[in-house]
Amino acid sequence: MKASFTYGDERYDYDVCFTPDRRSKIAIHVHPDASVQVDAPEGEEPLRIQRAVLKRARWIKTHVDQAKEQKRHALPRRYVSGESHFYLGRRYQLKVLKPNGSGSAVKLMRGRIRVETADRDPDIVKERLSRWYRQRAADVFERRLEAIVEHVDWLKEVPPVRLLTMKKQWGSCSPNGTVFLNPHLVKAPRECIDYVIAHELCHLKEHNHSPRYYRLLREILPGWEPVKARLDGMAELLLNE
Q: Is the pLDDT score of 156 beyond 80?
A: yes
The pLDDT of residue 22 is: 57
Write the single-letter amino acid at 14.
Y
**Topology, domain 134-238:** Zincin-like (3.30.2010)
Other Cβ atoms within 10 Å of 182 Cβ, number: 23
Please report which helix (H) or strand (E) contains residue 38, including its range.
Answer: strand 36-41
Q: Can you tell me the distance from the alpha carbon of 25 to that of 28, in angstroms, rounded to the nearest whole number?
A: 10
Region 161-183: what's the mean pLDDT? 92
Where exactly are the structural domains of the chain? Answer: 2-74, 84-133, 134-238
Q: What's residue 1's pLDDT?
A: 84
**With 70 as the cut, is the pLDDT of residue 75 above it?**
no
- Mean pLDDT to the nearest integer, 209-224: 90
Q: CB within 8 A of 4, min separation 6: which ones?
A: 11, 12, 13, 14
Task: Check residue 126 and give its pLDDT.
Answer: 94
Most confident among 57-61, 116-120, 221-225 (mean pLDDT): 57-61
Lowest mean pLDDT among 72-76, 96-100, 104-108: 72-76
Instruction: Please tell me whether residue 161 adopts helix, strand or coil conformation.
Output: strand
- Do 38 and 49 meet the contact criterion of CB atoms below 8 Å apart? yes
Is the pLDDT at 180 greater than 70, yes or no? yes
Give the Cα separation of 43 and 54 in Å (integer).
19
- Asked whether the predicted pLDDT for residue 62 surpasses 70, the reply is yes
The more confident residue out of 76 and 151 is: 151
Query: What pLDDT sits at residue 74?
Result: 60
3-state helix, strand, coil in the chain (%, to 5): 40, 25, 35
Q: Does the pLDDT at position 76 exceed 90?
A: no
Q: If pLDDT is split at 50, 70 and 90, which confidence band does 118 have? A: confident
Q: Mean per-residue pLDDT for 166-171?
A: 91
Examine the pLDDT at 130 and tell me if it is beyond 90: yes
Q: What confidence score (pLDDT) does residue 167 get?
A: 86
**How much is the pLDDT for 123?**
93
Predicted model pTM: 0.79
